[in-house]
Amino acid sequence: MPGFEFFGPEERKHINDVMETGILMRYGFDGPRKGIWKSKELEAAICSRLGCGFAQLTSSGTSALTTALTALGIGAGDEVIMPTFTFVASFESVLSVGAIPVLTEIDDTLTLSPDAVRSAITPRTKCVMPVHMCGAMADLDALSRICEENDLILLEDACQSFGASYKGRALGTIGHAGTFSFDFVKTVTCGEGGAVITNDKELYLKCDGYTDHGHDHAGVDRGADTHPFIGYNYRISELHAAIGLAQIGKLDQFLAIQKKTHQALKAILSTVAEIGFRRIPDAEGDSHTFLSWFLPTEEIARAVVAELRQQNSLAGNFYWFDNNWHYVRKWDHLRQAATLNNLNEEQRNALTGLAPDGFPDSDKIMSRCLSTAIGLTWTEEQTKEKGEKIVAAVRKVLARQKTSAA
C-alpha cells in the first residue's frame, strides 16, 4: 500500500475515456457520455471481486459509513458499539446520523474485543461496528454470534482492508453491510471515494437514493425522478471512479507483493525474542498492508520510537498510542464534544463522560504496539534494510535497559 505507488497507463486510459466525453458526473447525460459509465463499471467490478450482490460508490469512506448507518435505520438515540482504535471517521459518521458512539475495548487483534462488546450492550444498542484495522480482520465469528443473539445489526467498517477476507469470504460481505474507503493512501485508491456493499437489495436501493439527494433513479429522465426520502450529495465523480477501475484490476498484484514483503519483514523482526505480533483471526485473509508488532512495555516501545526517530528511520512506523487520528487517548475534541453545531443532549452527555484513561485494556495493548506500513515498491534489499534498522533499534534499547537494571 498505497495503490498510487503503481499509477500508470491504466489509470490515464480510464481518465482519458471520461475526459473525451467531458461528462464527469456519474448520473445523467446519457447521450453525450457515449456509453462511458466508469462508476457503474467499478461497482460491478467490486461485486465481482468481493462476491457481493450490490455496491454503491460514494464520495469517501466517511460518507459510505454515514450512508450505511442511515440506510440501516440507525439514528437518534441509538447506540453503536465501536472500537477505541480506529480512524476518526468511524465516530464522525455515527454522530452525523444522531446516534451515540459507544467506545469499547480492543484486544490483541487490534479490533473489537468480543467480551467487551457483550459488556457494552444496553437496551439502546442497535449496531455493532467492528473496524478491520490495518488490513486485517476482527473476530467475526464471535461478533456475528453476539449480534444474532441480541438482534443487533453488524456493520463492517472495512475501510482499511479492501481485499482482505475471513475464512474465504471478503471482509465487508459478512455483516448486514460493509464499507470501504478508496482515499489516496488506501491499497486501492480513487484519490477520494468509498463504497457500501451488501447482499440486501432493499438496503442497496436506499443507499443508491440517499447518496444522490433521494433520487429514486427509476427512470431514464433524471429530472423526472421522484424522491421517496431525503438524501444528500455523497456521489463519486466519474474521474475518481475511473482511477479506481484501473486500480482494482491491479489488486491481486498488490496483495501478492504485500504478502511477500510482509513475510520477509516479519521473519527479520522475529529474530528478536522480545518482539511479538498482532493476533490475526484468519492469517490467510490478511491483506498484509501493515506488520503490527508489540514490545514488552510502554517504556521500551517509547524508547524504540525515539531511537528510530534519532536514526531517521521512523517514517512508515506508526506508534498509534500517540497518534491523534487513530486512538481514543488523543481524541480531545471528541471528549469535549467540540462541534461547530449543537449535538443532541444524549450525544453530548455520552462524549463528555469519556475519560482519557477509561480504556485500560486498550492502553495496555496500544502503548506497546507499532505498525510498519508495507510499501509496494520496496526491493528485497530495502525490506532487509528496513527490518535490520528496526531490529538494531530494539536491541540497542533492550541492551541499554539491561545495563540500567544491573
How far apart are alpha carbons 237 and 57 in whole angstroms?
A: 9
How far apart are alpha carbons 24 and 38 in whole angstroms?
A: 10
With beta carbons less than 8 A apart as the criterion, state whether 17 and 38 touch: yes
Q: Which three cell numbers stand for residue 340?
A: 461547530
With beta carbons less than 8 A apart as the criterion, state whether 260 and 102 touch: no
With beta carbons less than 8 A apart as the criterion, state whether 232 and 211 touch: yes
Residue type for position 186: K
Q: Which three cell numbers stand for residue 211?
A: 447518496
- Residue 158 is given by DSSP the state -
Helix residue ranges, H only, 151-250: 201-210, 238-248
Which of the residues 38, 126, 186, 389 is marked catalytic?
186
How far apart are alpha carbons 97 and 89 in whole angstroms?
A: 13
- CB-neighbour burial class of residue 125 (10 A; exposed 0-12, middle 13-18, buried 19+): buried
> Which residues have a Cβ under 8 Å from the Cβ of 340 and sit 6 or more positions away?
none
- 372: β partners: 291, 317
186 counts as catalytic: yes
Compute, in degrees rounded to 10, the torsion defined by CA atoms 5, 11, 57, 133. Answer: -10
Strands 177-181 and 194-198: antiparallel
Q: How many CB atoms lie within 10 A of CB 396?
A: 14
Q: Which of 241, 157, 261, 141 minimizes the C-alpha distance to 191?
A: 241
Q: What residues act catalytically?
A: 186
